[in-house]
Amino acid sequence: MASAPSSTSDTAHSGGIHLPDTARDLVKILVTGPFGVGKTTLIDSVSEIRPLHTEEQLTEASAQVDDLDGVREKSTTTVAIDFGRISLAGGIVLYLFGTPGQERFRSLWDDIAYGALGALVLVDSRRIDASFDVLGLVEESGLPYAVAFNSFPDAPRHYSGDQLREALDLEIDTPMVICDARDQNSSVDALLSLVQHLIDSNPAEHR
């Protein structure tokens, strides 16, 4: 595969549990980011199978240890993983593993990241500093990654792409996109930016 397939071509969302006969490249991808950034929502929007969630209600006890600044309306949290699957054109199948966003679940990171080829890091432009720890984890792991700014309704619109890239101190070749995690096509496009980055980073493996 020389390039990532278009999100408008043959993306399957049939709800079947079996892999399509055309499946050729099976790829584990992390969907990561801080608490409340939209990881579960993105996996829900693209998964062709019924997603697996490990969500629990937020309690008064958890509120004492989780930073709810900017996400006060959130009532549940992922406590282990989210999981979904999406088949793309060209025989590429992405297994999506959503990570918990709170510091208290950091011990799960190595187990969830094991075997992943890359990570899509979701960022909330209303609280960019909340993403620094997750970006640090991804960079320490050596995983190639792309950054997707999730478009919340009240997110600031006046930042330029250069300003957002500078705020996160991203390398010039790190893909950075704007997406709406609720929208299937937008979320697939964000994942495709990562897939293309993986192909570009390892061209010999995809001839």
Distance (Å) of CA 92 to CA 14, 25, 119, 188, 194: 16, 5, 16, 13, 13
Least confident among 1-10, 88-97, 124-133, 138-147: 1-10
The H or E element spanning position 153 is: none
Write out pLDDT tens, residues 17-30: 778 788 899 999 99
pLDDT of residue 149: 96
DSSP state letter for 162? H
Q: Given a cut of 90, is residue 59 above it in pLDDT? A: no
| Residue whose pair of structure tokens reads 């969630």 in the numeric block | 53
Helix-strand-coil split of the chain, %, nearest 5: 35, 20, 45
Cut 0.85: pTM above it: no
33: alpha, beta or left? (left if phi > 0; alpha if psi -120 to 50): left
Burial (Cβ within 10 Å: 0-12, 13-18, ≥19) of residue 150: buried
pLDDT of residue 37: 92
Q: Given a cut of 90, is residue 85 above it in pLDDT? A: yes
Across the range 64-85, mean pLDDT stands at: 59
pLDDT of residue 69: 53
Q: What whole-number percentage of the chain has pLDDT above 90?
A: 54
CB 20 within 8 A of CB 9: no
pLDDT of residue 172: 93
Label the pairing between strands 118-123 and 145-150. parallel
pLDDT of residue 64: 44
Look at the chain and count its residues: 207
